[in-house]
Amino acid sequence: MTEFTLKYGTNPNQTPARLFMEDGGELPVEVLNGNPGYINFLDALNAWQLVRELKQALHLSAAASFKHVSPASAAVGIPLSGPMKRSCFVDDVEGLDDSPLASAYARARGSDRVSSFGDWAALSDVCDVTTARLLKREVSDGVIAPGYEPAALEILKTKRDGRYNIVRIDPSYEPAELERRQVFGVTFEQKRNDAVINAELLRNIVTKNRELPASAARDLIVALVTLKYTQSNSVCFAVGGQTVGVGAGQQSRIHCTRLAASKADTWFLRQSPKVLALPFWEDIRRPERDNVIDGYINQNEEDVCAEGVWHRYFSRRPEPFTREEQRAFLRNIDGVALGSDAFFPFGDNIERACRSGVRFVAQPGGSVRDAEVIASCDRHDMVMAMTGTRLFHH
């Protein structure tokens, strides 16, 4: 395929729109089903780069859930615990533990389920049947992968009344070194960001505590690769081989950190006994459960637990999840990794991150207040590596 005609561009008034190669060559993608749009392909191509790099860096199956050209989450294929399966709504999935790819997508989709609603999924490996079954039950716009098992492809083709977007990408495709884009009729050209993210970036540890376990190095790599394809400014929390909070597109880094930390807190609280025991009616749909859980955790009492409202969702009125209870639960969280796409200008980012269990940090460094940030880490016995590599993405 040398060209693909799109229904429209970013918005319906932006026509004509198409996908093509400037050199007239073959596109590296093939549409197997559906009719992906302009934004779909932006998500697909960014998400594919992310999972491809995670697989290359960690040699594990990887998956990402993308929305509006930033990842809601990304993960590698590590088995899920029982409470995590329940919080991700995958405890009923047969064969999950036998499919690293399905485990990766279950983690990626389950990390921030509200943001992942209507996502574009990316898979590092050939899509198997278990992963296809996971995708089929979620509200999702499409998927990109290097291939699909025949049975998996047939499952996905039944999704959205046969209109689900399925894209296959040539895994051997490598883009040109220079890339171009236009803004307001002006053409920009730059060298493609081919910075390699691996354990070598974590060697320059600048804190008193220099103990960086292999699991923490893995999580920092997950965070940094995710940031490479997240709209800047951005900060990412990761633990257990997955991102648990992505703060993207904020003008202030402290707002990035607060947003990412809030999402991470919600992810941890979803696995608390009080949330797992919520008495939902059996016919409540998955997206509605996501919204209700988010409201319950974030104390939106009028929407969830108020008199005359709760019975829409629950068989009995649940007890509120008080701030004191939440803080007590979160005090037990530790070992979280934090990546930043650019330097921290103030120590306030570290102080906020500490309250969400962050123990390991990776950031480029280079601020005039680096010493202040290092001192903040030392106060909390954190380990911080300065990578020297900025990861802005626009």
Tell me how far apart the alpha carbons of residues 217 and 334 are, in angstroms, rounded to a whole number: 15
Tell me how far apart the alpha carbons of residues 110 and 265 are, in angstroms, rounded to a whole number: 14
Q: Are 34 and 10 in contact (CB under 8 A)?
A: no
Tell me how far apart the alpha carbons of residues 307 and 208 are, in angstroms, rounded to a whole number: 53
**Packing angle between helix 129-137 and helix 150-157, nearest 10 degrees?**
10
Can 233 be counted among the known catalytic residues? yes
DSSP type of residue 96: G
Tell me how far apart the alpha carbons of residues 122 and 158 are, in angstroms, rounded to a whole number: 19
Three state DSSP letters for 171-239: CCCCCCCEEEEEECCEEEEEECCCCCCCHHHHCCECCCCCCCCHHHHHHHHHHHHHHHCCCCCEEEEEE
Catalytic position from the list 59, 191, 332, 394:
394
Which strand ranges, in their side-by-side order, compose the sheet holding 140-145?
A: 29-33, 165-169, 140-145, 119-123, 62-67, 70-76, 242-248, 234-239, 336-340, 358-363, 383-386
Can 68 be counted among the known catalytic residues? yes
DSSP type of residue 12: T
Nearest in space to 203 (alpha carbons), one of 386, 27, 4:
386
Can 300 be counted among the known catalytic residues? no
Where are the alpha helices (H) located in 305-379, listed in sequence order?
323-330, 348-354, 370-379
Which residues make Cβ contacts (< 8 Å) with residue 81, sequence separation at least 6? none
Can 298 be counted among the known catalytic residues? no
Catalytic position from the list 46, 233, 263, 349:
233
Catalytic position from the list 55, 67, 159, 228:
67
Q: Are 114 and 292 in contact (CB under 8 A)?
A: no
Report residue 50 as tokens.
């992310």
Where are the alpha helices (H) located in the chain, listed in sequence order?
38-58, 82-87, 100-111, 129-137, 150-157, 214-228, 253-270, 273-276, 286-297, 301-304, 323-330, 348-354, 370-379
Catalytic position from the list 68, 255, 274, 380:
68
Catalytic residues: 67-68, 233, 394
